[in-house]
Amino acid sequence: MGKIAINLDDETLAKARDVASSRNTTLDEMVQEFVKSVAQQSNGDRERAVELLRESFKRFSRDMGPRTWKREDLYER
């Protein structure tokens, strides 16, 4: 497990410790849960974006029929 260091002013640190205490946890555990939730949200956002893209392909794709041309014919000079 990795470690990080953050700098907080004394007032913010005291308030954060109070919040953690009122939730029957430690400040360290509270920060870990926050970072995990942010990391999971990022994955969820990416997965949702991919799903939306797939849905748009299905909805807007059209059958163009069989391909009767060759690539070379398109670029004939």
Q: Enter the pTM of the model.
A: 0.54
Report the C-alpha gap between 8 and 29 in whole angstroms: 17
Tell me the pLDDT tens digit for each residue of 1-57.
888 889 999 999 999 999 999 999 999 999 999 888 888 777 778 888 888 888 888
CB 27 within 8 A of CB 17: yes
pLDDT bucket at 77, cuts 50 / 70 / 90? low
